[in-house]
Structure 1
Amino acid sequence: MTVDYDLIIVGGAAVGRYAAARANQLGARVALIEPPSPSSSLVLSLLAQINQALRQQACLQQWGYQLDGTAKWNWSQTLQWAETLAETQAISIAAPHSLMQLTAAGVEVMRAEGAFCRQPQLGFMVGKRRLRGRNYLLAPRVEATIPPIEGLAAIQVATLNSDFRSNFWPTLPRQVLILGSDPRGIELAQVLNRLGTQVTLIVSSEQLLPQEDPEAAFLVQAILEAEGVTVLTQTQVSQVRAIDDQIWVQVGNRAITTEAMVLATKPHLRLACLNLEAAGVKWQPEGIRVNRKLQTTTSRIYACGESLGGYVSAALDQHEADVALHNALFLPTQSVDYSRIPWTLFTDPTLVRIGLTESQARKRYGNDVLVAQQPVQALTTAQLSNDSNGFLKLIASYKGEILGAHAIAPQAQEWIGILALAMQQRLPLKALAQLPQPSPTFAELIQRTAAQLQQQRRREWQRELLETWFNFRRSR
């Protein structure tokens, strides 16, 4: 079979550019087809930095520095800074996944729409040009689902991919209602609240993050509510109307007025234009069907990233891309393993998770599960920085295998990699318990919690040994 490319990537999401760069580095001939699309929100890309800056301001007050109370947040200046930063990154050599850098490296980049075809062999049409690839990788963007709410279609609402400055928010609204359970909506709610906006967050589920550890999810909600965010769970919006300059929203049995709305609803795919049926690929708006090797229902076509459904996460997307690239460019021998990939919610404090939750571990391993938890407030560095909210929970088996970890703590995204490495390399719990950590730091939580688990294991081992000993003595 004569082909033009070793891999053709049908992109749109950021992971498509990552995959193109990695495949090119491996020596493959790569084409990246990326449809023209609006830029994603600059605000969301700066959540961690803004939250950190606001937290440091609170620390100044705690340490005795008196603010005069006249400072106001300049929304337009923030967005201008964000755009300048984005432009700098786009032309920097430190941005190897920009289209400019990919083209310079040898990737053939096409900013155009395209579709699969069979004439009679599988190919991809871009305009009048037919591209032939040995294999294909789907990495398209997803968009927020528009819920079937009466009156919503007539209202101008933002999504998590909106350009808030030019299209929706030339000034920061006084009230914002965020509808949906996408984790990025939770991040946005905290930031907007800290900037002085009155925020209402509405989700239909029982807790904010149904797939996460309940204790961690409830703590995130408690922190948001303590800061002033109104959080409504198990709640449905039935009607939306525009009245003068306000948006009227019927929420359950009460009405709420707001200046602006953001949809943080479940993302969905719009792939009809790709003619996937001609390629034999089965998909639904919720995601593309793949196996553990990330092959679609057509073995030569792979998929990764947002298009598979679930949370939006750069770490997960890149893991999927690495697996798909290995299988597409070499032999299909690798499978995805999500149990050792960390996921992060960039609230303040940060929520991180890797591996199984406590309930998942007990369901899979029964009584062969140990759980230990250490509070952040026990750390010296937490007292010094006025960051005492949170905890680290470790889950392990009696054999010492680390099954999962959940932390809500300041800077948790910086030290969760220690646990990820330990799990990927299958290091025993004893190694973490004996791992020296600099003090005072938040990473001390790892050693303390692992030592607590190790002590539980030791007690069980000693109890069984003593029971065996005394049974032996009694039998003589």
Structure 2
Amino acid sequence: MTRIKTDICVIGGGSGGLSVAAGAVQMGARVVLIEGHKMGGDCLNYGCVPSKALLAQARQVAARAADPVPEDFRAAMAHVKATIAAIEPHDSVERFEGLGVQVIKGFARFTSPSEIEVAGQTITARRFVIATGSRAAVPPIPGLADVPYMTNETLFDQSERPAHLLIIGAGPIGLEMAQAHRRLGSRVTVIEGAKALGRDDPDAAAVVLAQLRREGIEIIEDAQVERVGGRPGALEVQVKGGTIFTGTHLLVAVGRVPNLDKLDLDKAGVKSDRAGITVDAGLRSTNKRVYAIGDAAGQGQFTHLAGYHAGVVIRAILFGLPARARHDHIPHVTYTDPELAQIGLTEAEARKKYGGGVSVHRIGYDQIDRAQAEGRTQGFLQLIAVRGRAVGVTVVGAQAGEVIAPYALALANRLKLSAVAGTVLPYPTLAEIGKRAAGAYFSPRLFDNMNVKRVVRLVQRWLP
């Protein structure tokens, strides 16, 4: 068996793992990267990239065709594959080997606290970074294993349009794919055991759900699935109470679970639970040699979070600097149309934490000239502020993921709202809505303040 010694061994070639490998090797460390499946991980092959490519095509079809044809669906799926192919070289084995990373294909498992085995090789490393990502959760629903169903890992293999797509789960993945398929001509029924978009601000979620229902998507909430049955092309989903929904295809979108089962973590002394690997504020596990990032760390399942985690562990591993991961400044977006973006605390969370010190400022898209000019006035931005700083922002509306960017900067760098209010933006832009909200925070302090008015009158009296 071949033995390899290295400074850093990264397990997982998804977004976070690739960021660690590229950064570390270019700063002089010896790096081994292990990937058991596809370089680029879930995000490139089954997640962010293909889903947003499909949404983009569906949006174009909806804008030009009242009655999409099957060829529209086939063209959209071809665009998905072309998009993945265009990005693949950036995440390829060849690129990383060109940077100086030793790439090994295979599934790694720990054999001791300081060694792993993979593809007939034993690797000893000063530090390990587990970046194995996650996979679609498949719930133990009676009958599910006996019928054909899709997850996000198989959804994009379709070439023919589903006549009627049933979706179990009304989170971001379920609703994004519901809208994409509906706009491409499928009937769509979404079945949710609790509340659709239940982790988001309820007012913002209501805007998205209303639009999806207007487009003809059936969304059933508070409906616990009890059984799945039927046959290919004639599937059945029965919910509590006995109601049966029928369709031709089934997508299961009820969340994700971390990919940890092949690692033999117990042999490395690494503790984990259902959420992921147990880590401290610096993302170090119960084995001081082993770090975990991204979905594997159990602190959120976003590509951009994995990239942020990569930066944290690089500082710790390469430079020995104290590094702690924050999570109060990590945004997330549901890419439906309208989009829903959130960063920091919701209003309910802020009031629970800060009590009466919270101020809330909501600006509608209909107050923004660019939104009026484009006829996209649906939605709002809500700013949650405490002592002159934003602690949470929700945006629902056109390009919400872009509109929230200034507040991602503000929360990450702990900027005061005066920095946002004092920014000069080009006119007209949708981003003005964020500046308008910051201005709304200061307005009563300026315009309704009697002391300010007295000072102004006094200055006016004495000015030459």
Fold-level similarity (TM above 0.5): yes
> Which of 193, 199, 204 pairs up with 2:188?
199
Counterpart for residue 409 of structure 1: 397
The reply to whether residue 108 of structure 1 matches residue 102 of structure 2 is yes
* Matches of 1:110 and 1:446, distance apart in 2: 46
Once residues 363 and 87 of structure 2 are traced to their aligned partners in structure 1, the CA distance between those partners, rounded to angstroms, is: 39
CA shift for structure 1 position 244? 6.0
**Alignment correspondent of 1:469:** none
Q: Structure 1 residue 434: deviation in Å? A: 2.5
| Counterparts in 2 of 1:149 and 1:312: CA distance versus 1, 3 Å | same
Given that residues 288 and 308 in structure 1 are in contact (C-alpha distance below 8 angstroms), is that contact kept between their aligned partners in structure 2?
Answer: yes
Matches within 5 A, 1:114-125: 114-118=108-112, 122-125=114-117
Spell out, residue by residue over 1:89-115, the C-alpha distance to the aligned partner (whole angstroms, 9 max, x if none).
Answer: 223xxx2x3322111110111111221
Residues 171 and 57 of structure 1: is their aligned pair in 2 closer, same or farther, counting only changes over 3 Å?
Answer: closer
1:90 to 65, 88, 96: 88
Q: Does 1:394 align with 2:383?
A: yes
Contact 2:58 2:76 (C-alpha < 8 Å) held by counterparts: no
Which stretch of structure 1 is more off in the superposition, 326-335 or 186-195? 326-335
Shift of 1:145: 2.0
- Give the secondary structure class of the aligned counterpart of 1:408: strand
Contact 1:157 1:261 survives alignment (8 Å): yes
- Work out whether residues 339 and 354 of structure 1, in 8 Å CA contact, stay in contact via their aligned partners in 2: yes
Q: Alpha-carbon deviation of 1:382?
A: 1.8
**Bigger shift: residues 416-425 or 299-308:** 416-425
What does 1:15-94 correspond to in 2, within 5 Å? 15-37=16-38, 45-52=49-56, 54-55=58-59, 73-91=71-89
The letter of the residue matching 1:435 is: T
In structure 1, the residue matched to 2:462 is: none
Give 1:44 shift. Answer: 5.7
The 1:163–1:251 alpha-carbon spacing in structure 2 relative to 1, beyond 3 Å, is closer
Q: 1:27 to 1:249 in 2, by over 3 A?
A: same
Q: Residues 157 and 54 (structure 1 numbering): CA distance in 2 closer, same or farther, change over 3 Å?
A: closer
Per-residue CA shift, 1:217-243, capped at 9, x if unaligned?
222222211211111122111111124
Aligned counterparts, 1:159-238, within 5 A:
159-162=151-154, 164-165=156-157, 169-205=158-194, 207-238=195-226
Q: What's 1:128 paired with?
A: 120
Aligned residue in 1 for 2:278? 289
User: Do the aligned residues in 2 keep the contact of 1:47 with 1:346 (CA within 8 Å)?
Assistant: no
* Secondary structure, aligned partner of 2:205: helix
Q: Match of 2:73, as an amino acid?
A: W
Q: How far is 1:25 from its partner?
A: 2.4
- Name the SS of the counterpart of 2:111 in structure 1: strand
Deviation per residue, 1:160-193 (Å, 9 max, x gap): 122532xxx3311011111124422221111111
Q: Find the aligned partners of 1:299 and 1:43 in 2 and give their Cα distance.
A: 31
SS in structure 2 opposite 1:262?
A: strand
Offset of 1:81 from its aligned partner?
A: 3.0
Say if 1:126 and 1:252 are closer, same or farther in 2 by CA, change over 3 A: same
Task: Give the Cα separation in 2 of the matches to 1:99 and 1:49.
Answer: 23
Query: How much has 1:14 moved relative to structure 2?
Result: 2.9
Relative distance call for 1:48 and 1:70 in structure 2 (3 A) is closer
Q: CA RMSD in A?
A: 2.6
**Paired residues of 1:6 and 1:329 also in contact (CA < 8 A):** no
Distance 1:266 1:401 in 2: 33
Count of residues in Structure 1 that have an aligned counterpart in Structure 2: 448
SS in 2 for 1:288: coil
Once residues 192 and 115 of structure 1 are traced to their aligned partners in structure 2, the CA distance between those partners, rounded to angstroms, is 39
Q: What letter matches 1:135 in structure 2?
A: R
Query: Given the superposition, is the C-alpha separation of residues 275 and 242 from structure 1 closer, same or farther in structure 2, using an over 3 Å criterion?
Result: same
CA distance in 1, matches of 2:374, 2:325: 39
Report the equivalent of 1:64: none
What SS does structure 2 have at the residue aligned with 1:354?
strand
Secondary structure in structure 1 of the residue aligned to 2:328? helix
Which residue of the partner structure matches residue 266 of structure 1? 255
Distance 2:125 2:253 in 1: 36
For the residue of structure 2 that corresponds to 1:4, the secondary structure is: strand
Structure 2 equivalent of residue 13 of structure 1: 14
The 1:3/1:293 distance shift into structure 2, 3 A limit, reads farther
Of 286-295 and 180-189, deviating more is 180-189
Tell me, which stretches of 5 or more residues in structure 1 are unaligned?
A: 61-66, 467-476
Contact 2:285 2:292 in 1 (8 A): yes
Rounded to whole Å, the distance in 2 between the matches of 1:319 and 1:44 is: 17
Contact between 1:43 and 1:79, CA under 8 Å: does it hold in 2? Answer: no
Q: Spell out, residue by residue over 1:346-400, the C-alpha distance to the aligned partner (whole angstroms, 9 max, x if none).
A: 1112211111111111111111111100111222222232212110001111x31
2:349 is the counterpart of 1:360:
yes
2:459 maps to none
Identity %: 31
In the superposition, the TM-score normalised over structure 2's length comes to 0.89
Counterpart of 2:365?
376
Contact (CA 8 Å) 2:49, 2:83: kept in 1 or not? no
- For structure 2, the 5+ residue unaligned runs are 455-464
Matched, 1:318 2:314: no
